Amino acid sequence: MSSRLSNSIPPRFRMPPVWSWIVIVGAVGFFLSGLINANISIERILSGTVNIGTFLSRAFPPDISRLDSVIWAMLETFEIALVGTVFGVLLSLPIALLISNNTTPHPLISRVLRFIVSVMRTVPDLVWALLFVISVGLGSFAGILTIMVDTIAFCARFFSERIEEIDKGPMEAIKSTGSNRLGVYAASVLPIGFPSFVATSLFSVEKAIRSAVVLGLVGAGGIGIELSTSMSLMKYDEAFMIIIIIFVVVVAFEQLSAAIRKRLI
C-alpha cells in the first residue's frame, strides 16, 4: 500500500519530514483553537454591525468645540514621534555598524548586541510605555523613550542588513590607504548606505506617529489620552473629530515621506 502511495507521488514532490508535519498540525490546531475561542457567531456579527451604525449616527457631525486642545495634543504626539525617532536613528547607526558581520570589531560584540536588539524588538510598545511611565512618570518623556527603543529595534536591524549588502570593494580600497575603522565607515559605508538609511528612518517616523497615538492610552502623552477620555465618556462626536485629525496627520506625513523617498531612491 505504502509503495503504491509513494509511486503515485510525482518524482519532484517529496514528502515533508516528520517534524514538518508536527509543526503543520500544531499550527492548524492553534488556528482552530483561535476560531473557537473567538466565539464567532452570526448574532455577534449582526449586533456588532448595529453597534457600529449607532456609533456613526452619534459621531456625526464631529464635535469641534475642543478643536484647539485636540490640535495641541496632536502636535505633542507628532513631537513625541519625531524626537523619539531622531534619537533612535542616531543610536541605531553605531549599533548597526557594531552588529553587522562586515563592520563589527568582534563577533562577540555583534552577538551580544544582536540579542539586545532582538529583545527590544520582541517586547510590544505598550509594555515599554508602561515600564517608562512607572520609571519616569506620566507624560511625553515616557512616550519619547518608548519611541526611541522601538526605533532602535527597527532601524538597527534594517541598517545592519543594508550594511551587510555593501560591496567589499570600496571598503577594501579605503583600508588600503591606511585609513582606520572610523575612516572606512565615514568614507564608504555611510555614503553608500545613506539613501537606504534615510528611507528606513522615514518609515520609522510614520510608524512612530501611529505608535505615539496609542501610547497616550497608557499615559505616555499625546492625543491618545484625549481619544481614550472621549470614548470612555461616550462622546462619540468628539472622538470622531480626534480620529479624523489623526487620519489627516498620518496620511499627510505618509505622502510627504513618499515624496522624499522618491527623490532619494
Q: The domain spanning residue 249 has which CATH number?
A: 1.10.3720.10
Containing H/E element for 231?
Answer: helix 224-232
Per-residue pLDDT at 12: 63
Q: So what's the pLDDT on residue 121?
A: 86
In a domain, 44, yes or no: no
Within the chain, how many helices (H) and strands (E) appear?
Answer: 12, 0
| pLDDT at residue number 7 | 57
Q: Does 98 reside within a domain?
A: yes
Residue 238: inside a domain: yes
- Residue 179 is predicted with a pLDDT of 76
CA pair distance 30, 26, nearest whole angstrom: 6
C-alpha cell, 47: 449586533
Q: Is residue 37 part of a domain?
A: no
What is the extent of the structural domain holding 127? 65-264
Q: What pLDDT score was predicted for residue 11?
A: 60
pLDDT, position 10: 59
How many separate domains does the chain show?
Answer: 1
The pLDDT of residue 9: 57
CB atoms within 10 A of CB 42: 7
pLDDT < 70 stretches in the chain: 1-13, 264-265
Query: What local confidence, expressed as pLDDT, does residue 32 receive?
Result: 92
In-domain check, residue 42: no
Entry pTM:
0.78
C-alpha dihedral, 66 to 70 to 72 to 77, nearest 10°: 170
Residue 172 within a domain: yes
Q: What is the pLDDT of residue 6?
A: 53
| 19 assigned to some structural domain | no
Residues contacting 265, CB < 8 A, separation 6+: 195, 196, 199
